[in-house]
Amino acid sequence: MNDNEKNYILRFNKIYSVNEAHPPWRKNLQFGDVNTVWTGLDNSSIDKMERNNILKGAIGQHRWWMSLLPGGIYTTTKMFGGKYLLRCAWNMLSAYFKTSLYLNKKYGFDAFKKFLETKIFVPVGEGAGAAFYFISSPIIRRFPILAPFPRWVEIEVTTVCNKKCTHCEHTHWGQTQEQRHLTIEEYKHIIDQFDLTWVHTTGEGSSFLNKDFFKIMAENRRRNIPHYFVDHFDDLNDEQMETILNYDIAGIYISIDGASPVTYNPVRIGCDFNRVVKNIRKFIDKKMEKRLLLPELNFRMVVTNENVHEMPLFVELIKSFGGKRELGGGARLDFVGVLNFDENEQKFVHTISYEIYKETIDKAKTCDFNVILSHIEPSQNPPSSQCICWLEPYILMGGDVIPCCTVLMSNNREYLHANAFGNLFKQSFKDIWNSPRYKEFRRIINDDSKQVPGFCVNCRAYDNTKRAIRNGIRWDL
Ligand SMILES: C[S@@+](CC[C@H](N)C(=O)[O-])C[C@H]1O[C@@H](n2cnc3c(N)ncnc32)[C@H](O)[C@@H]1O
Ligand code: SF4
Ligand code: SF4
């Protein structure tokens, strides 16, 4: 028996010794499977992986100061190097300076201030700059009592969708989930409880199906709250394009899970690659005609076994849409790992080949938008002691408050609703945030010597495996 096999058996036994701790919503997996690359691999794959890891050593170096960085920025810096991080930071700084002046001129000082606050204080998520946390996050993680009262929130504005993307939990919900839209009155009730400097409205559904979505955009514009959302751009019509442009939406993340129709169409069922590309080009033309700086156009590819080989091609696809001028200087291309659950488990990418990384990185360095890698491979994830996602609550349809958006896409909505910290239609957010249970969650989340909160078991963005094996799990949190 060679060392790899011994390691495998040791690891395997360790994982299975905590079988009783598997997350209640996972039927087929045992706890730990998701965050380790060892389980179920035969010798030849272990050899292949060893080779891969050795090669990747050349591009995946951890340095001590990287422990200061949150999730996606950590992985990107590890894989692309510190120089790339500095280049992205500079791109963003110069772009945001211009955009804040543009907003000041068009909407006044309040819009200017809130946009800058988005870039400085919003910790994670679409369009967040998080500048403040590069310095303060070690202190906040050590003393969570210092965590700022959120002025940033993610709100689910619909749970209705007319597509059937094979990797999305919405497709696998069955009849158990209530599918409906958030009304403008409900939306106002939620945002009235915060003094927001950023909002991300999305959810498990397609926002444009909500007839109040334009009212939501208008309300955010009226309050000068920088507004970000995610959409697939498959059925966006001219009128919708014009409205988005008229409201100066801060940023859009366009989901395209492939770089060719052959790969994209079978995954994004109901969408059409060529139509999406046409709509994006049309939208950019309109934005250029009107000489607008906003919205910033970002792109997201959910990396699965079906499309991982197209990562380098995806960089080229986005490059074909334009650069700083067309997309915005802070624009991002996010490669995100598929958030996995029982029904999409076979799509999960355990390890990405050195060759794909290398080609993607080389291509990315020739673009003037910023390429970010977020939880695309479990072995690259930082430990949960580095997480600051909990600073940004997520409001599920119906008002239930959960700690972050990463817990979504685990096809366990019942668990999330049942274990939410509170409901915004029954209590104020202030009371929920200051409740003993939420406080206790914040107290232990970054402390490696403590148990893993139940919400964070099976987190696909941070690695909790070793910690859970060592300290166990607090299912009450
Ligand atoms: C749930 S969708 C809602 C917005 C819109 N319907 C869309 O597809 O862009 C929000 C984002 O989640 C992504 N997504 C869907 N399934 C996912 C999964 N299993 N893991 C990670 N992201 C996923 C989508 O690609 C999209 O970027
Ligand atoms: S990814 Fe978006 S479009 Fe696709 S099924 Fe999910 S919510 Fe609908
Ligand atoms: S599930 Fe927990 S560890 Fe993972 S991102 Fe959310 S708060 Fe952080």
pLDDT for residue 227 is more than 80: yes
Shortest-distance Cα residue to atom 3 of ligand 2? 163
Is residue 261 packed enough to be buried (19+ CB in 10 Å), middle (13-18) or exposed (0-12)?
middle
Q: What is the pLDDT of residues 162-211, one digit of tens each?
A: 999 999 999 998 777 789 999 999 999 999 999 999 999 988 999 999 99
Shortest-distance Cα residue to atom 14 of ligand 1? 168
Q: What is the pLDDT of residues 43-56, one digit of tens each?
A: 455 456 555 665 56
**Sign of dihedral through CA atoms 180, 184, 189, 194?**
positive
Q: What is the pLDDT of residues 20-34, one digit of tens each?
A: 344 455 554 444 444
Return the pLDDT at 21. 42
459 lines ligand 3 (CB under 6 A): yes
The model's pTM: 0.88
* Separate counts of helices (H) and strands (E) for the chain: 18, 14
What type of residue sits at position 222?
R
Q: Relative to the CA of 231, which ligand 1 atom is closest?
A: 9
What is the rounded average pLDDT of the residues 325-339?
A: 92
422-459 as b/e: b if 16+ CB within 10 A:
bebeebebeebbeeeebeebbebbbeeebbbbbbbbbb
Distance in angstroms between the alpha carbons of the first and the last residue of the chain = 42
Q: What is the pLDDT of residues 366-425, one digit of tens each?
A: 998 999 988 887 777 788 888 999 999 999 999 999 999 988 888 889 889 999 999 999
Q: How far apart are CA 234 and CA 231, in angstroms?
A: 8
Q: How far apart are CA 255 and CA 24, in angstroms?
A: 30
Return the pLDDT at 381. 78
Instruction: Choose the residue to mutate in 456, 460, 463 for probing ligand 3, maximizing ligand atoms within 8 Å of C-beta.
Output: 456
Give one DSSP letter per residue of 166-182, joined into a string: TTSGGGG-TTSS---B-
141 lines ligand 2 (CB under 6 A): no
Return the pLDDT at 14. 41
From ligand 1's centre to the CA of 313, what distance in Å?
20
203 lines ligand 2 (CB under 6 A): no
Return the pLDDT at 55. 58
pLDDT for residue 327 is more than 90: yes
From ligand 1's centre to the CA of 458, what distance in Å?
18
Q: Provide the percentage of residues in the chain whose pLDDT is more than 90.
A: 57
**Which ligand is located closest to the Cα atom of residue 459?**
3
Question: Residue 196: phi, psi to the nearest 5?
Answer: -75, 140
Question: Residue 205: phi, psi to the nearest 5?
Answer: 165, -175
Name the band, by pLDDT with cuts 50, 70 and 90, for residue 90. Answer: confident
Shortest-distance Cα residue to atom 7 of ligand 2? 205
232 lines ligand 2 (CB under 6 A): yes
pLDDT for residue 466 is more than 70: yes
pLDDT for residue 315 is more than 50: yes
Tokens 């559904």 sit at which residue?
Answer: 205
From ligand 3's centre to the CA of 381, what distance in Å?
12
